[in-house]
Amino acid sequence: MVSGLDSVYLRIKAINERIKEINEKVGNIYSSLDINRISKTQNYNITFETQKNTSKTFKEILDEALSKNNSNQENINILSKPDETWKEVIVQKNSNENRESKFDDIIQKASSTYNVPKELIKAVIKAESNFNPFSISPKNAMGLMQLLPSTAKEMGVEDVFDPFQNIMGGTKYLKTMLDKYNGNLFLALSAYNAGPNRVDKSKGIPEIEETQNYVDRVIKFYKEYSKIK
């Protein structure tokens, strides 16, 4: 009768023999292949090269491939909109002035399209996301002008993280609120932040601290960008 310790020893020995057998089979498989190919998927240019080597185990071959993959990551080029790499948008350290002027051309386009002052659009962006096109709020508002999924869909925005679509859609919604409240900027901004239903119900700026602070901040930024004292 085999003791408990002997049983464990036999089991470990069997496992080691099985591992050795698997390594030998994998080594034989790779020794019969000449893997030297380039995989191209859309704009991804990543090269994986594995030479024949019968002495390498599967783990060694996998580690080598992963190592070469990591070394080629800088060759990946994913273009955002407009014509700028995501790395440049996220990583590049700009001054506040440069960051705030980054989207001026789009803001000007939205301003002329919907007849909304560019300084007001810029003020809303400053208050909403501080010019971070990838900002996401706890309430799931997204992008430069912090559009909720329902609002984005209503305004025809397909990609909320695309600065052009987000600014155009956000400005369109802001214009809708301005028209609804006959150009009353305080009510329009309150509706942009809290929703028109709350504004209608309160018949003015809702008694919501977040909304009241938001309106004050946007007005402050609007005056600064307009150089109004």
Q: Could you list the active site residues?
A: 128
Per residue, the 3-state secondary structure of 125-187, as one string, reads HHHHHCCCCCCECCCCCECCCCECHHHHHHCCCCCCCCHHHHHHHHHHHHHHHHHHCCCCHHH
pLDDT at 56: 62
pLDDT at 157: 97
Top-confidence residue, 79 or 156: 156
- In this predicted structure, the answer to whether residue 27 has a pLDDT above a threshold of 70 is no
Top-confidence residue, 80 or 171: 171
- Residue of 25, 28, 27, 64 lying closest to 48 (CA atoms): 64
The structural domains of the chain, with segments of one domain joined by +, span: 4-75, 84-226
Top-confidence residue, 1 or 120: 120
pLDDT at 17: 77
- In this predicted structure, the answer to whether residue 211 has a pLDDT above a threshold of 70 is yes
Mean pLDDT across the chain, nearest whole number?
A: 78
Average pLDDT over residues 208-214: 96
DSSP helix/strand/coil, 189: helix
- The model's confidence at residue 16, banded by pLDDT at 50, 70 and 90, is confident
Average pLDDT over residues 222-227: 94
How does pLDDT run across 4-13, given as a tens digit for each residue? 566 666 777 7
How does pLDDT run across 60-97, given as a tens digit for each residue? 665 666 565 555 444 443 334 444 554 454 545 455 66
Q: Which of 42-46, 104-108, 124-128, 170-174 has the lowest mean pLDDT?
A: 42-46
Tokens found for residue 157: 């925005």
- In this predicted structure, the answer to whether residue 162 has a pLDDT above a threshold of 90 is yes
- The model's confidence at residue 41, banded by pLDDT at 50, 70 and 90, is very low
pLDDT at 208: 95
pLDDT at 184: 96
- Would you identify the CATH topology of the domain 84-226? Lysozyme (1.10.530)
The answer to whether 33 and 47 are in contact (CB under 8 A) is no
pLDDT at 138: 93
pLDDT at 79: 38
